[in-house]
Chain A
Amino acid sequence: MNCKTDLPVMLPVSKPEPEPFCGLRAWHILPLALLAIFGPSLAFAQSDEGVLSPLAVLMNWAPLLLKGFIFNLVISVSAMALGTVVGAMLGLGQISLIPAVRGGSWFVTQFFRNAPWLVLLFFAMFLLPFEIDLFGLKIPFPDWLKAILGLSLPVMANVSEIVRGAVNSLPSGQWEAAESLAYTRLQTLWLIILPQCVKRMLPPWMNLYSILTMATVLASIVGVSEVMTLTGQALASEGGRPELLAPFYGFVLLLFFVYCYPIARFTVRLEKKFAVIG
């Protein structure tokens, strides 16, 4: 969409593409990393006959590790969904006209935004019961569910700030125009303010999702069987061969890179697009 206006506008200064370091570009990381991780294993494979090469061992374990990684994604998507829903409400609470609601929402947001994610995760793990007694019906409360709850807390706080920031970034004229057309505050928010905020919120929201996805490995510390936990177990059952460490953890790194890098690229593209339209 072209923006035509009579107002003087500041055109975005197009930043020159960063000078590639030694002629390298971002995507070159991928083959280089592959080489660094698997190169030594390949060399090893040629030298020894009796033992399986690290690469072959990794291939044996890869399906399990992939399953673990998918579990990480399930945790990330669930925590994101939960955190977004609650965080959006909290963010709207922060712009409420009722001082108590505004103050409460602000406090909760700031509290969880300034707490280490790992501590929140431990909190969720050890404070929540392992099952809930609901009218005699025992609903189990597994670790992975606690991990989702624990990780959704910082997501919630960050989404709350994203919502508040986006709403505040709209020109006050939008509110005034809506007010003078006799829209109620709720209508103004729902029909006029929030639809305009969505595109402003999308880049930071996706950024947050990337960070959350990478933080899901924290769940390994509290014993959830996600990709890091499984990698550790796989390495242990292979007898802790030191030459396996690099390929195995390298494989995990690659999984996250392949998943998160496109999100980061897409976010940058969205940011550029919205920076011009405003």
Chain B
Amino acid sequence: MSWTPADPMVSLKDVHKSFGDLKVLNGVSLDVMKGDVICIIGPSGSGKSTLIRCVNALNDIQQGSILVEGLEVNDPKLDKLELRKKVGMVFQQYNLFPHKTALQNVMMAPVRVLKQDKAKAEATARALIKKVRLEGKEDAFPGELSGGQQQRVAIARSLAMQPDVILFDEVTAALDPETVGEVLQTIKELAEEGMTCILVTHEMAFAREVADHIYFTDRGVIVEHGPPATFFTNAQDPRTKEFLSQIL
């Protein structure tokens, strides 16, 4: 079975995951089409982060299926490198490499992993740093940048690998309120350019603005989902209603 762009880019079917006795995902299914921006929201500990970490095999799953462009993630023979070239990831704690400059952080993987020509990779990296509005910070080390700036470098680093889908794991949760906006702006621009994005976020206003589809998770299952217009105004499930009433 070969994958075509008409099929879901990412497709989860009945995904179960537990850490020891603790069940984190209890049968999650969702489809993400190419160019979709989906937001996963829900209370802490509801399995949101685990869910997207499973998509690029940072966590393994016990049961179910995760297809990324037709590639089965829950397969012991999975070529993880192949998967991770398709799937980018941005973390809550940025996780930039502190011993490398912003530019090196961005261009290192294309050179070392994709074996791109160094000059070409550098040109791309500089363009990406410009794109995330950090011109002039190419030679700064992560420790010299603010949280928001580091997170934008992390986004540029992920983009440099030309992934087909990017996972954003609560990328603004560790940021100062005044730098949250600049990071969200960057993600919004990506979304508008048609990048497929899966976001775990607590920024409801942002989710409402950029998402094509919202998923609400609680206790390891998707309780409710829908396009933002109906989701935020017309939630059906009592758990969703309660969550939204606390947060909005």
Q: Which residues of A contact B (CB under 8 A)?
A: 1-7, 171, 173-174, 176-184, 187, 191-192, 195-196, 277
Residues of chain B within 8 A of A179, CB atoms compared: 58, 80, 84
Minimum CB–CB distance for B215 against chain A, Å: 21
Given contact pairs A6-B146, A195-B99, A181 touches B113 in the complex (Cβ within 8 A):
yes
Given A7-B174, A173-B91, A196-B98: A183 in contact with B109 (beta carbons within 8 A) = yes
Inter-chain contact A176/B95, CB cutoff 8 Å? yes
CB interface residues, B 105-125, toward A, < 8 Å: 108-109, 112-113
List which B142-166 residues lie within 8 A (CB) of chain A: 143-148, 154, 157-158, 161
In the complex, A174 Cα to B143 Cα: how many Å? 14
CB pair A2–B144 under 8 Å, yes or no, is yes
Chain B residues with CB under 8 A of A5: 143, 147
Q: Which 4 A-B pairs have the closest CB atoms?
A: A6-B147, A177-B95, A173-B95, A182-B84
Task: Offer 14 A-B interface pairs, CB within 8 angstroms, sorted by A.
Answer: A6-B174, A6-B179, A7-B174, A171-B93, A171-B95, A176-B91, A180-B56, A180-B84, A180-B158, A181-B113, A182-B113, A183-B109, A183-B113, A184-B81
Residue of A171, A178, A180 with highest tally of chain B CB at under 10 A: A180
A249 CB to nearest B CB, Å: 46
- Which B residues have a C-beta under 8 Å from some C-beta of A? 56, 58, 80-81, 84-85, 87-89, 91, 93, 95-99, 108-109, 112-113, 141, 143-148, 154, 157-158, 161, 174-176, 179
Please measure, in the bound complex, the distance between the C-alpha atom of A5 and the C-alpha atom of B84, giving whole angstroms: 28
**Contacting residues, chain B, for A171 (C-beta < 8 A):** 93, 95
**Complex: chain A residue closest to B151, CB-CB:** A6
- Chain A residue numbers with a CB within 8 Å of B99 are 195-196
- The listed residue (A4, A7, A177, A180) touching B97 by CB distance below 8 A is A177
Q: CB-CB < 8 A to B147: which residues of A?
A: 5-7
Instruction: Determine if A277 and B161 form an interchain contact, defined as CB atoms under 8 angstroms apart.
Output: no
Instruction: Give, as a whole number of angstroms, the nearest-CB distance from B135 to chain A.
Output: 19
Contacts of B161 in A (CB 8 A): 181-182
| A2: B residues at CB distance < 8 A | 143-144
A177 and B145 alpha carbons, distance in the complex (Å): 18
Cα separation A79 to B89 with both chains bound (whole Å):
45
Minimum CB–CB distance from A274 to chain B (whole Å) comes to: 12
Q: Tell which of B80, B112, B147, B157 has the most Cβ of chain A within 10 Å.
A: B112
Complex Cα–Cα for A177 and B105 (A): 11
Beyond A4-B143, A181-B113: 18 further Cβ-contacts under 8 Å?
A: A1-B141, A2-B144, A6-B146, A6-B147, A7-B93, A7-B147, A171-B93, A177-B91, A177-B95, A177-B96, A180-B87, A181-B109, A182-B80, A182-B113, A196-B97, A196-B98, A196-B99, A277-B143
Residues of A within 8 A of B112 (CB): 183, 187, 191
A4 adjacent to B113 (CB under 8 Å):
no
Known: A2-B143, A191-B112. A174 touches B97 (CB 8 A): yes
Nearest Cβ in chain B — how far from A202, in angstroms? Answer: 14
Residue on B with the closest CB to A5?
Answer: B147
B186 to chain A: closest CB distance in Å?
16
Give the complex CA separation of A179 and B179 in angstroms: 27
Shortest distance from the beta carbon of A278 to any chain B beta carbon, whole Å: 8
CB-nearest residue of chain A to B114: A182
| CB-based nearest B residue for A277 | B143
Residues from chain B with Cβ under 8 Å of A187 in the complex: 112-113
**Chain B minimum-CB-distance residue to A180:** B89
CA distance A183 to B93 in the complex (A): 19
